[in-house]
Amino acid sequence: MKAAVIVFPGSNCDHDIYIPLKKMLNIPTEFVWHKATDLGSFGIIVLPGGFSYGDYLRCGAIARFSPVMKEVVTRARRGAKIIGICNGFQILTESGLLPGALLKNSNQKFVCRTVHLRVENNRTIFTHKCAEKEILRIPIAHGEGNYYCDPGTLEELKNREQIVFRYSNENGETGLMSNPNGSIDNIAGIINREGNILGMMPHPERRSDEILGHDDGLKILGSMVESFARN
């Protein structure tokens, strides 16, 4: 079992995710430059946060055409476990691996703070270590985290239980006051139909050790790693 952390020009959370995977979850983890064309030995693929290509045009719009993304798409179709965090989520939607799009925050400002997430589906390979409706405390740091999709897609996401996380308050209540960016239906993270790809705006790697103030994020990363080990 090996994990690849894809590094694009402008990635800045690559080391953040590398450390919990390799040092805390003991998974052989390697950085992979965006020009790579072969990911055959990796079962877990991480698209980290940051500002790939300076976020020119749209966040993730240029990274979507990096050579490695053709292989990421191929590996996704073969069932590789893929997680896109923040900018990685944006790249996944731009690549068509997840539905919808990430728009500018509704307040038109960069938002950086810790938020509460309600686990909507704890039966996924990324959340099975979480309790049903558990409230996690995970940081966000983005200017374009406003998730949007058309009404038909939203209904499908609900029906197929593809909404994995929603922004909430500490009591698990969702609504305008607990929504930091304007995301439709307070959506903070979704999976694809097959369940092997997760995109989320919050940063679980930044809450992966008690020394960081909390280790809620390790439940997400640990779920992914444990699921891979079972296969």
- The owner of tokens 């309790």 is 131
First to last CA, the chain: 10
Half-sphere exposure of 161 (CA within 13 A, CB side): 10
Catalytic residue (choose from 86, 120, 144, 149)? 86
Bridge partner residues of 115 (DSSP): 138
The question of whether 86 is a catalytic residue gets the answer yes
The question of whether 130 is a catalytic residue gets the answer no
The question of whether 203 is a catalytic residue gets the answer yes
Residues forming the active site = 86, 203, 205
